[in-house]
Amino acid sequence: MPAVNKRALQAGERIRVLVVDDSVVIRRLVTHALEQEPGVEVVGSAANGSLALQRVPQLNPDVITLDIEMPEMDGLEALRRVRQSYPQVRVIMFSTLTERGAKVTLEALTLGADDYVTKASNEGSLDRSMARLREELIPKIKQFFRFPGASTAPAPAARQTLEPRASTELRSSKRRPEVVAIGISTGGPAALGEILPELPRDFPLPVLLVQHMPPLFTRLLAERLSANCALPVEEAVQGVAVEPGKILIAPGDFHMKVVPGGSGVRVCLDQSPPLNSCRPAVDALFASVGQVYGGAAIAAVLTGMGQDGLRGVEILKAQGASVVAQDEASSVVWGMPGAIVGAGLADRVLPLKQIVPEILRLAGR
C-alpha cells in the first residue's frame, strides 16, 4: 500500500475525526478524550462499519478510529471499503490485548490500517482510562499531519549526538558485514510483509528486528511473517543464538540486546527502563550491536513515529557501520528514518522496495 504523506494543516484547521465503535461507552470516552485536544475535532460517530461508510462523504473526516468487532459490518470489512473509496483517510484500529484481537489487528495493518491503539482494560477509574487513551491515541492521530508553523525538517533533537560529529561523518567500515539490524514502528507490519520475503533462503547474515508492539503482538507478527518468508522468523527468547539466515524479532515489553556467548553471539532480553518511551527500543538493540559487532553491521531504519534508533545509529555510524533509511514518500510516517536523514547519518535514503536489494548489495550478494 503506498504511503499517504503528512498533510499540512492550514491556520485554524483542525483534524477531523470520525469515531466508529458499537459501544456507546467507548464512543463517548473517545469523543470526550479528543474534544479536550486543541487542533482535533470529533465530527461524528457511528455504531458500525455500514453507518460509518454512509457518513464519510457527509462528514469528510481526516481520521477514522475503527473498532474491529461490530454488528452488521465489522472493522475489517469497513477498512477494506474505506481503503478502496477513500485512500487518503487515515484509519486507526481499536484492538484488544487478546490473541484474537492481536491476530485481527495484524490483519488490519496488512490490509492498510495506518496504526492501532489497544482498548483500556481494568484501568480502575474513568479518569485513568481517559488519561491513558489520550496519551496513546492523540500522538497517533497527530503523527499524520503537519501543523501550521511547524518545520518540515526533523526536530532539533534529531541532532543530539553521543560523540563529536566529526567521528560519525568520516569513518567508513572496511569490514564485511556480519549482522543486519532493523528498526521500524508505524506502518511496520505491512512494510515487513512486503520486504522480508525478498531475503533469499541462503542469506548469509542474521537479521535482528525491533518493531514497536506489545506482548503477544510480536509473537503473532513473527508467526505471520515466517509463513511467508524463505528465512525462519522467530520471536526472540533469552539466550537464543544469533545465527546466519534467521530473523529474530524483539518480544513486546522487552529490550532485545546482543552479547558474546560461548562460541558466538546470543540474545539478552531485559526490562530496563523504556528508551524514547519504547520497550523494545531500537536504540537498545543498535547500541548493543555496536558493542558486539562494531562497524561490521548494516542498520536499516524504516517507517515509524518518533526518533527511536537515532542514538543507536550514531553509535554504529561512529564505528563505520552502513546505515540505510527509508525515504519519506514510501513511509507511512517519516519520523524515525527522517531523524536519521536529518542528522546526516544515512548512507542511502531509499524507497521501501529498494531496501532489501541494498541490504543484499552491502552483504556482498
Looking at residue 5, its pLDDT comes to 64
Per the annotation, the verdict on 226 as an active-site residue is no
Give mean pLDDT, residues 291-296: 96
The helix/strand/coil state of 117 is strand
In the chain, the domains with their CATH numbers are 7-146 (3.40.50.2300), 165-362 (3.40.50.180)
User: Could you tell me the pLDDT band of residue 169, with boundaries at 50, 70 and 90?
Assistant: very low
Looking at residue 168, its pLDDT comes to 35
Per the annotation, the verdict on 212 as an active-site residue is yes
Q: What is the mean pLDDT of the chain?
A: 90
The helix/strand/coil state of 259 is strand
Question: Which residue has 537464543 as its cell numbers?
Answer: 240
Is residue 365 within 8 Å of residue 203, measured between CB atoms?
A: yes
User: Could you tell me the pLDDT band of residue 126, with boundaries at 50, 70 and 90?
Assistant: confident
- Say yes or no to pLDDT of 8 above 90: no
Looking at residue 157, its pLDDT comes to 41
Give mean pLDDT, residues 333-361: 97
- Say yes or no to pLDDT of 159 above 50: no
Instruction: Write out the three cell numbers for 193.
Output: 510483509
Selecting among 45, 185, 288, 330, the annotated active-site residue is 185
Instruction: Write out the three cell numbers for 260.
Output: 558474546
The helix/strand/coil state of 32 is helix
- Give the pLDDT confidence of 221-277 residue by residue, as tens digits: 999 999 999 999 999 999 999 999 999 999 999 999 999 987 899 999 999 999 999
The helix/strand/coil state of 168 is helix
Which burial class, exposed, middle or buried, applies to 82 when counting CB atoms under 10 A from its CB (0-12, 13-18, 19+)? Answer: buried
Residue 262: CB partners within 8 Å, gap ≥ 6? none
Per the annotation, the verdict on 308 as an active-site residue is yes
- Say yes or no to pLDDT of 151 above 60: no
Instruction: Write out the three cell numbers for 17.
Output: 475525526
DSSP labels for 274-342?
PBTTBSS-HHHHHHHHHHHHTTSEEEEE-SBSS-TTHHHHHHHHHTT-EEEEE-TTT-SSBSHHHHHHH
Selecting among 62, 67, 283, 308, the annotated active-site residue is 308
- Give the pLDDT confidence of 61-114 residue by residue, as tens digits: 999 999 998 988 999 999 999 999 999 999 999 988 788 889 999 999 999 999
- Give the pLDDT confidence of 195-230 residue by residue, as tens digits: 999 999 999 999 999 999 999 999 999 999 999 999
Residues linked to residue 256 through DSSP beta bridges, in sequence order: 269
The whole-angstrom separation of Cα 332 and Cα 53 is 23
- Say yes or no to pLDDT of 303 above 60: yes
Selecting among 21, 212, 322, 330, the annotated active-site residue is 212
Looking at residue 137, its pLDDT comes to 94
